[in-house]
Homo-oligomer: A and B are copies of this chain.
Amino acid sequence: MQLKSIGSFFVGGRTVTLAGLPVEQRRLAIGAAPRPVDPNGDHVTGQMYVQEYRLTAPRAPFPVVFWHGGGMTGANWETTPDGRPGWITQFLEAGFDVLVCDAVERGRSSWSMFPQIYEGAPLFRTKNEAWDMFRMGPAGSYATDPALRQPWPQVQFPPEAFDAFACQWVPRWVGHEAVTEAAYDALISRVGPCFVVGHSQGGGFALQMTQRRPADVRAVVALEPSGAPAAEGISSALPPHLVMWGDHIAEHAVWTRYRASVDAYLADLRRHAVPAHTLDLPAEGIAGNTHFLMMDRNGAQLAERIIAWLSAVDH
């Protein structure tokens, strides 16, 4: 990979001034005497971290922007938990400039005091919940001991890498949609025309952004989006949409509901003559894909499908 630049920047954010909070006596190093720590003053909140890889000679017409899902960071798109090159590498090698976000309050975007700035505490996802929610195996098939876990037959996620994957998970807050969307808006304003690839919660944000900024989002790819925007925002000016789904949706009530809402949204897009394609992997005979398509064993083939689709769409 011949790169012109590797870097990062922040978008969004505002300063909140806290006052009237008690100065605490805190021990700042093991064995040290407590000293005063004053939380009063100016804090930044709502900023978003963006990593940017620019090729010396990009071949794609626009950069691709990756938006991870809930409780994750941009690390999702790097090396897979079992050590294979991730989609950042694959898209760079395919000639795309690449931008990768850590959503607001996650990873390098930092997070803010609660209850002083955020209303309350975040959610932490257990491995137990994730195993089920990410469709690694049937409900209740998680066990602390990896040898006792029962993944779906033909599962595409490497089950032996599930614990390594758990290292990537970060806490997440709920109800922060507005500040998150404001930061994504600031990003799109800075980047200009681009392709957006969003996963799960990030896929929902990508679909919403496409409604708000159809001139900048030249094509959108939503990987198992956890919800769709209101149909009222659809116009024939929207760019092409691709939505991808893995296996075992029908066995999971939450995913069945998400999928139904997205299917209905895509039908509405088509009624407005917006190109909207659903890539249903099991319907094509590809079994075992989990919620984390980009980390699945066939993830490189799935990225190739997306790259081919982006190359063929009329943007």
Chain A residues packing against B (C-beta within 8 Å): 1-10, 13, 15, 17-18, 26-30, 37-44, 47, 49, 51, 53, 73-75, 78-79, 83, 85-86, 88-89, 92, 102, 107-108, 110-113, 123-124, 126-129, 144, 163-164, 166-171, 174-175, 177, 227
Q: Within the assembled complex, what's the spacing in Å between the Cα atoms of A7 and B77?
A: 9
Nearest-CB residue, chain B, relative to A40: B126
Given contacts A44-B163, A123-B26, A124-B43, contact A110 B10 (CB under 8 A): no
Q: Which 6 residue pairs across A and B have the least CB separation, nearest first?
A: A41-B126, A7-B79, A41-B128, A10-B167, A47-B167, A42-B127
A18 to chain B, nearest CB (A): 8
A31 to chain B, nearest CB (A): 10
* Interface hub of A28, A78, A108 (most chain B Cβ within 10 A): A108
Given contacts A7-B89, A27-B174, contact A124 B39 (CB under 8 A): yes
Q: Within the assembled complex, what's the spacing in Å between the Cα atoms of A177 and B97?
A: 38
Interchain CB contact under 8 A, B74 and A167 = no
Question: Would you give 23 A-B contacts (Cβ < 8 Å), ordered by A?
Answer: A1-B4, A1-B6, A2-B2, A2-B3, A5-B89, A6-B53, A8-B78, A9-B83, A10-B167, A17-B144, A27-B175, A28-B174, A29-B227, A30-B175, A30-B177, A39-B126, A40-B128, A42-B126, A42-B166, A44-B167, A44-B169, A51-B78, A108-B108
A5 to chain B, nearest CB (A): 7
Given contacts A30-B175, A43-B127, A129-B38, contact A8 B167 (CB under 8 A): no
Interchain CB contact under 8 A, B1 and A3 = yes
Told that A2-B3, A7-B78, A49-B168 touch, could you supply 8 new A-B pairs with CB distance under 8 A? A2-B2, A8-B75, A9-B79, A10-B164, A17-B144, A42-B128, A44-B167, A108-B170
